[in-house]
Structure 1
């Protein structure tokens, strides 16, 4: 397996990632550390062992800020702590999400609100928290969406609606923040086989059916999302904003 692409301008950059200690988020944290960036992340579950592993492996540790991103004050406080440790956030990665399934018939108002509170609301308020300081030097905001809304996936409409909302938010923020030198893009992964996906949703038949729909006949892993994220964070994409980058192995192409 090849190593990550190197983006030299990411060295010493202050990066803040939501959900950066597990799944795709853990791969992102490691990817930025390998670029020489200073990474802080917020996560509800304990990530102390992951932090220790990163320190041993790379000689530098991310700053783990334990908290729940649905608590906006806790999210804002974590961003402030990251600024104190590493300086103003230059790169914000709104990664954390929860794809718990509720069908149309099953979804209660509480289910709906819970889904939006983790899959859309924190993206807005995290961007709000970093925008003022980013305006001084420029920056990049990367909002994780999903190909689920492009595909019109059934079975979890609240999640799909939130991810469509993330892309709409991305475009609106790109227009509003562009004059301040802040780029805002969305990244839309396909079905990435994290531990959670393997435990809850993936089985032999569903994996085979999904792979049949992909142009590239290989399942996505968390590290497959890293290079695209680094690209959007770096000056390599300096004139790219308001865009939705799909990394799905070619599912959207085939429908």
Structure 2
């Protein structure tokens, strides 16, 4: 099953995840609407730590249907702000234009433009240290985030949360990570990969087998599916919350060390 078809079914699980979490930012969020090439608009959300800057920065790219205000980016904001790191998250132009039916471009070129525009705006912020910037992404955001990271050699690190390991062109589950993340085997900067243990878009054997081929890659498998959610069992909501909390802690620790 292709990526977008799989995402259609996986987005249904977000209701469970949203009901299980109530993460909030450490400080007030500043929202900006940025015009991009072609006339579209991207929504950028800025969260700064309460201490005095300039701050290191993490730019967080959302999933296809997993937008910037859902639990994972919200929780990352709180955790990273607590560590003195500024966070910029955003929503794709297609999502801003039509949150219900919007779709990414077939080759993701429009989404690469979106993220590059957000990154450029974020690096100009006076409160940000442009020499200490990392990127992170969720699902679709990992595909785009890797392309942006690869094209910006001065970025310090990348965190790929729920990467897409399968071959999108195949109807069966076939390893396609090296095709989805071009030149990732030549990586020389800190890289984090996190998948849920029952994530159909990146089975753990694929995650670990590919990570073994990537220099400086750290691969972690935790509980849950594509959004770390647990669908069954008497403690599904609590287990989902625990999984997401662990993913945030691991990601925060990785980014804090990378941005020192």
TM-score band by shorter chain is 0.3 to 0.5
Q: TM-score by structure 1 length?
A: 0.47
Q: TM-score by structure 2 length?
A: 0.46
Which structure shows the bigger proportion of residues in strand conformation?
A: 2
